[in-house]
Amino acid sequence: MQVLDTASWVGDGDDADFFLAIERTFDLRLRSNLPWTTFGEVRDHVVAHVAAHGGGGTACATQMTFYRLRRALGFGRHVGPDAPLAPLIGDALRPVFSDLEADTDLKMPATRAGWLGIVGGSCFVIAAAILALTTLPPPSRIFAAGASAYVGLWLRHLDRRRLPRGCETIGDLARMVSEQNRGRLARDGARLTSPEIWRIIQQLAADESGIDPDLIGPETTFFRIKAQAA
């Protein structure tokens, strides 16, 4: 497959979100300026970082994550990767994920808003519309917008959240968590090879650019405002 010469970013059109994702995934900090212009240069830096700070282990990252999650949830060996996740953790998704982060020292994937959260978000939109578009007297406009925003905050507080999309089993959760914590797991003895690093970088770049990850090659360049790297 022919790769692209240049990849453009969505959103603000710069590389900030991409490098934030690199930091989170590989557990590194980007401090000084480096003149990166290609994805291959990003890969080379991450590979060097993992070689310098990783544990050089051979364990499977997803398997390691699964055992950590199962132990933190208090389940025994009878619970396998195919076990449905929702019945195991119940409805209190927010505190469960918070406890899992504390117990495993791994970042959990973002949960999705439930219906209460969606309605709460609509209340904020309504509040902004009241302030910007209505012809009510200022005191009434401020009161109505404040009331709508308060209802939105309360609904979001009551929202129980939903599991991330595609996260149906404890094995799915282990896969998602391992993908978001590869640097930290590598330091703990998980295997992280150069091809695996490249695949992850391709996917992160695809998430921020909206293009097929297979179209991103080592020589593909990207637009940037300011190059930041460790």
Per-residue pLDDT of the chain (230 residues; tens, 9 = 90+): 688 888 877 666 567 788 888 888 988 887 656 677 889 988 998 888 888 876 678 899 999 999 999 999 999 889 999 999 988 888 788 889 999 999 999 999 989 888 889 999 999 999 999 999 888 898 898 999 999 999 999 998 888 888 999 999 999 999 999 988 998 898 888 988 889 999 999 999 888 888 898 999 999 987 655 444 44
Q: Residue type for 66, please?
A: F
CB 18 within 8 A of CB 227: no
Q: What is the pLDDT of residues 150-178, one digit of tens each?
A: 999 999 888 888 899 999 999 999 999 99
d(C-alpha 228, C-alpha 38), whole Å: 13
| The three-state (H, E, C) secondary structure of 5-21, written as one string | CEECCCCCCCCHHHHHH
Q: 84: which strand partners? A: 169
Q: Residue type for 65, please?
A: T
CB 159 within 8 A of CB 112: no
**Class of the 61-112+161-179 domain?**
mainly alpha
Domain boundaries, the chain: 6-54+192-222, 61-112+161-179, 115-158
Residue 59, SS3? Answer: strand
pTM for this one? 0.72
